[in-house]
Structure 1
Amino acid sequence: MVNEEAAPALMTRTWLNSLMQRYDLRPHKTLGQNYVVDPNTIRRIVRLSGIQPGDQVIEIGPGLGSLTLGCIEVGADVLALEIDDRVLPALSEVVGDKARVLHCDALTVEWSQLLGPGPYMVIANLPYNVAASVVLNMLAQAPAARSFLVMVQREVAQRFVAKPGTKAYGIPSVKTAFWGTATMVGDVPADVFVPKPNVASSLVRIDRHPTSALPDPEFVFPLVQAGFAQRRKTLRNSLSGMVSAEAFRLAEIDPGDRPEQLGIEAWVRLSEAVSSSAKPSG
């Protein structure tokens, strides 16, 4: 084991290579195990997250602890959720007793049982294939998580922040806008990772809207899902059987529009109009 006093404060390329060699580790591509090994980049990511001393932080996918160490450095209370049991011994060496590590899958964990009242800040380096699912699941099921800073493939980042009428705008864009405000806050160069990824990476910050101000997603999201399931069709066709002509009129939405033309406010109006038009008069 590396002498704790001799170890650098933040992850470096030399330290990471030593860990992988001593623990016989190979990065798992499907788990998105591209580790940040540049201390300046780590500090920049933590700074952009807004994490402050004493903040409660949930880290998804700590890997070998690059971002974990950055959060520890600023004095945060970190709970790191790691799915890959192969890296746990090395991760334990890196963080010691300065962070709590839980071996679990962020997609299946019961957030209501795991988290207290919060507030929590979330930081994560997420692989392409689960990034949207992890973030949207936490937004829906972990209201105590008030803000997120996620590092994802740029294509995924663009979907989180996309505006109506753009090519990237879709279901993740609408659902993210329902729960909070998403902002692209920076890019991360490929050469600060080990191994070096073949894709561009970006940082997205999401700040949650006050939960008390939100309508019921059970009324909004089925319309969004149905509308984007047939993206090239007009709303009149894609929402046939779900939305009446009267509901379109009440919501002041043209049934000849396509789903990518509607912002979250329009989808909420439409769901409220559907509910209102379905109520018996008198």
Structure 2
Amino acid sequence: MSSQLLSAPAIKEMLERAGAAPRRSLGQNFVVDPNTVRRIARLACVGPGDRVVEVGAGLGSLTLALAETGAQVVAVETDSRLVPLLREVTGPHDDTVTVVQADARRLDWDALAGGAGWHLVANLPYNIATSLVLDVLDGVPAVTDLLVMCQREAAERLAAGPGSGAYGAVSVKVAVHAHAELAGNVPSTVFFPRPEVRSTLVRITRRAPALAPGLRSEIYRLVTIAFAHRRQMLRRTLCSEFVDADAALAEAEVDPTERPEQLGLPDWIRLAGVSAVAQGPR
């Protein structure tokens, strides 16, 4: 198999040869445009000496573009029908590409990404994109930055700031760990099959130092409660969490009449600190 990037006809031929029609249940929409995968690899800012985990490698379109940069790539794919094709496609790069058959949601990240300084680059199945990003940020500190493609609405939630209509609990949870920004849209015409949703790239860069796990958990708990009623004032949504919600919010320097979508990460950090003291040891 040539090491050239895959075209749409080549991808369709491979799928037909293997009798492997794209599975909707796995969110399989393969990028079939070489310019698009090269663009993604360029936006990932990786090159010789870098280590990359690619989740949902599929038939290797993006894998080959990442390998072109000189980076070391671990290509993870769960579909047993595609793994032999992926190994065939990446064969010319077996010195820089390692193919792993695994479900990204059940990966042994310690074994896969030992040491620090890993990049995660992926065309993520839309149904697991948000949960996977949060799981990596929470539990895989070895991954220091991510460039992921997902449904545009999910991307906007991952990167949203206070006051935005897309800002919610997910946005705050991402901000606890990292800075996130939209990195560009991807047209549906570059996929096979063509998805019914819009796709957007998100760049996520981990911050240091990390918040203490206890404080992080308290922020998660509070934002989950508050954003369940995002249109209500905080004095009402958080009244069950404090003996005197107004006093607790004032201590955290938060206006009790504000709504959760108006609070930035520093506000949630102060509020979680007050809450942790009020709750006492657990």
Q: Normalising by structure 1, what TM-score?
A: 0.92
CA–CA separation in structure 1 for the residues paired with 2:131 and 2:184: 21
CA drift of 1:194 comes to 1.1
What is aligned with 2:33?
38
Pairing 1:156-235 to 2, within 5 Å after superposition: 156-210=154-208, 212-216=209-213, 217-235=216-234
Is the partner of 2:132 in helix, strand or coil?
helix
Q: Which runs of 5+ in 2 are unaligned?
A: none
Structure 2 residue 90 is the aligned partner of structure 1 residue 92: no
- Does structure 2 retain, via aligned residues, the 8 Å contact 1:124–1:149? yes
Pairing 1:86-125 to 2, within 5 Å after superposition: 86-96=81-91, 97=94, 98-125=96-123
CA–CA separation in structure 1 for the residues paired with 2:73 and 2:104: 15
- Going from structure 1 to structure 2, the CA distance change for 1:54 and 1:205 (only over 3 Å counts) comes to same
CA–CA separation in structure 1 for the residues paired with 2:111 and 2:14: 33
Structure 2 residue 133 is the aligned partner of structure 1 residue 135: yes
Higher mean displacement: 74-83 or 60-69: 74-83
CA–CA separation in structure 1 for the residues paired with 2:221 and 2:40: 35
What is aligned with 1:245?
246
CA drift of 1:279 comes to 6.0
CA–CA separation in structure 1 for the residues paired with 2:99 and 2:228: 39
CA–CA separation in structure 2 for the residues paired with 1:250 and 1:232: 22
Choose from 8, 12, 27 the match for 1:13.
Answer: 8
What is aligned with 2:258?
257
- Does structure 1 retain, via aligned residues, the 8 Å contact 2:57–2:75? yes
- State the one-letter code of the partner of 1:256: T
CA drift of 1:126 comes to 1.1
Choose from 134, 139, 145 the match for 1:147.
Answer: 145
CA drift of 1:269 comes to 1.0
What CA deviation, in whole Å up to 9, does each residue of 1:49-79 have, x standing for no partner?
1111121101110011111111111111111
Q: How many percent identity over aligned positions?
A: 45
Higher mean displacement: 98-107 or 143-152: 98-107
Q: Provide runs of 4+ in structure 1 moved above 4 Å.
A: 277-280
CA drift of 1:247 comes to 2.2
CA drift of 1:276 comes to 3.8
CA–CA separation in structure 1 for the residues paired with 2:110 and 2:248: 35
What CA deviation, in whole Å up to 9, does each residue of 1:237-256 have, x standing for no partner?
22223234332111111222
What CA deviation, in whole Å up to 9, does each residue of 1:73-100 have, x standing for no partner?
1111111221211211111111122421
- Does structure 2 retain, via aligned residues, the 8 Å contact 1:151–1:201? yes
Aligned length: 274
CA–CA separation in structure 1 for the residues paired with 2:178 and 2:101: 28
- State the one-letter code of the partner of 1:226: I
CA drift of 1:118 comes to 2.2
- Does structure 2 retain, via aligned residues, the 8 Å contact 1:60–1:106? yes
- Does structure 2 retain, via aligned residues, the 8 Å contact 1:36–1:192? yes
CA–CA separation in structure 1 for the residues paired with 2:126 and 2:78: 16
CA–CA separation in structure 2 for the residues paired with 1:77 and 1:8: 16
Q: Which runs of 5+ in 1 are unaligned?
A: none
CA–CA separation in structure 1 for the residues paired with 2:175 and 2:51: 24
CA–CA separation in structure 2 for the residues paired with 1:226 and 1:220: 10
- Does structure 1 retain, via aligned residues, the 8 Å contact 2:3–2:90? no
- Does structure 1 retain, via aligned residues, the 8 Å contact 2:177–2:210? no
Q: Normalising by structure 2, what TM-score?
A: 0.92
